[in-house]
Amino acid sequence: MIRVLVVVLVALVAACGVVYYMGSRQPVAHTAAVRAHFHAPPETVYKIVWDVRHYPEWRPDVKQVNLLTTNDPNDAWEEIGKNGTLEYTFSEASPPERLVSTLLTKDAGFTGRWRFRFLADSTGTDVNIMEEGSVQNPFFRFAMRYVFGPYSSLETYMTALGKRAGEQVTVTRVP
C-alpha cells in the first residue's frame, strides 16, 4: 500500500513539474481580440458596457457588482463571480466609440485591460474587444494556453453582450 502511495505521489509531483515547466515556457504578456456585429447603434451597445451596475443581470460570470467610488459610479467597481473578487476601472472613455476597462486587483495572478471599439456602419455597430494582459503564474499560463485559451473570456463576454442587446451575435476571433 505504501508503495502505491509513493508511486502516486511521485507521479503527481512529476505532473506538476511538467505543467509548471510548460507554463513557464509560455510568454507572460499576451493579446487576444474578438469582434461581433450588432444591429443596434453604437450608443446603445456602449451604454450596456458602461452600465456596470447591471452586469449581474446579463454576464453569467458575475454574481454581484459593488461600486467603490461615489463621484462617478464607473470610476471603480468590484465584480464578484466565478473568478473571485476583482476590481476594475474604466481608464479611458470616448463615448460612444471607445472604452478601456483596466483590472485594478494586484494579487489576481494576472493583470491587463480590455479595449472596446464601437464602430458604426450602415447596418449597426461592429464591436471589437482586445485583451492586453499578462499572466505571471506559470500554472495559470499553462491553463490559459492548453485548457481554456486566451479567447474564452472575450467570447463569453461578447456572446452575453449580444443577448443583453437582444441579438444573437456571431463572435469572430481577430488574428
Helices (H), the chain: 2-24, 42-50, 55-58, 138-143, 152-164
Question: Where are the domains positioned within the chain?
Answer: 2-174
Residue with cell 483590472: 103
pLDDT in tens, 90-132: 999 999 999 999 999 988 888 899 999 999 999 999 999 999 9
Per-residue pLDDT tens over the stretch 7-53 = 778 778 777 887 677 767 787 888 999 999 999 999 999 999 999 99
* Per-residue pLDDT, 25: 79
CATH number of 2-174: 3.30.530.20
- Identify whether the C-beta of residue 22 lies closer than 8 Å to the C-beta of residue 140: no
